[in-house]
Amino acid sequence: MAETHTRDAWEKLRELTAARIALGRAGGSLPTAAWLDFKLAHARARDAVWRVLEVDVLAAKIAGLGLAAVEARSAAETHELFLRRPDLGRVLAAGEAESLRAAAGRGSAPYDLALLASGGLSATAVHEQLVPLLEALLRELAARGLSASPVVLARYGRVALGDPVGAALGARAILVLVGERPGLATPASLGAYLTFAPREGRSDAERNCVSNIHAGGLSHAAAARKIAWLTGEALRRGLSGVALKDEEGLLDGPRQQETPRRL
């Protein structure tokens, strides 16, 4: 027997949002197509949480951008432990700081920006967004005369892992690129967290966040431009976080003059 699908009066609004609204009904339940779509999105989100970052694959792709990549281990030794103990994903394993200094040493001149990428809660996001974002970001940083460190890759890292990593590299600021908690709209959203003068004990209020970086959200080019602007201002003003407002475009001025539209 064919399913009877009763349409929702607000169905037209579905064209304006990825949210699950106006799905209609079949009797007292969701239509089969809407239910199956929900189950698929939920499965993709679960897969993203449990996927482990493939460091070797990413390192090879990063090398294609002319950047070196080094691996760092957090105190979370397994994926299961990382999910159950967020605190372990915020600190380096014993001896890792010394290894980072040796692998990515720069001598007397500090990096303007250290780069750390971690699977976070969606390794899928890192695999899909990291390389194109870095490609755009390197151009933006070069245009501002800012130097970037080799990319540090951590399988099981939280945002705060950037503090000891940045301190070990002696960087003026650090950018942590991490897979965001997946939702039912997308399992592949990347977040970028900028911290000036990284050191252990920094709070989340001392970070700037650029989030929702994915195909249906903030584009790689727009995210790279915003991150580079925030980095430049953080280094110029000597601060980041709540004290640094996102005023890109207000201080730099418009990128191009638009022709007024005739009404």
Kindly state the average pLDDT of the residues 174-180: 97
pLDDT at position 24 is 81
Q: Among 116, 131, 137, which Cα is nearest to 207's?
A: 116
Could you read off the pLDDT of 112-165 as tens digits, one per residue?
Answer: 999 999 999 999 999 999 999 999 999 999 999 999 999 999 999 999 999 999
Cβ neighbours of 194 (radius 10 Å): 25
Q: How confident is the model at residue 259 (pLDDT cuts 50, 70, 90)?
A: very low
Cβ neighbours of 109 (radius 10 Å): 8
Report in angstroms the alpha-carbon separations of 82 from 25, 70, 85, 121, 224: 40, 20, 5, 10, 28
pLDDT greater than 90 at residue 95: yes
pLDDT greater than 70 at residue 253: no
Kindly state the average pLDDT of the residues 242-249: 86
Higher pLDDT pick, 187 / 259: 187
Distance CA 118, CA 125 (A): 10
pLDDT at position 48 is 86
Q: How confident is the model at residue 261 (pLDDT cuts 50, 70, 90)?
A: very low
Could you read off the pLDDT of 193-219 as tens digits, one per residue?
Answer: 999 999 999 999 999 999 999 998 999
Burial of 87-96, coded b for 16+ CB within 10 Å and e otherwise, reads ebbbbbbeeb
Could you read off the pLDDT of 22-72 as tens digits, one per residue?
Answer: 788 888 888 888 888 888 988 988 888 889 999 999 999 999 999 999 999
How many residues would you count in the chain? 263
Kindly state the average pLDDT of the residues 236-253: 82
% of the chain with per-residue pLDDT over 70: 91
pLDDT at position 55 is 96
Distance CA 72, CA 91 (A): 11
pLDDT at position 25 is 81
Q: Among 33, 203, 195, 45, which Cα is nearest to 124's?
A: 45
Q: In this structure, are residues 133 and 213 in contact, taking their beta carbons and an 8 Å threshold?
A: yes
pLDDT at position 241 is 96
pLDDT at position 251 is 54
pLDDT at position 262 is 37
pLDDT greater than 70 at residue 252: no
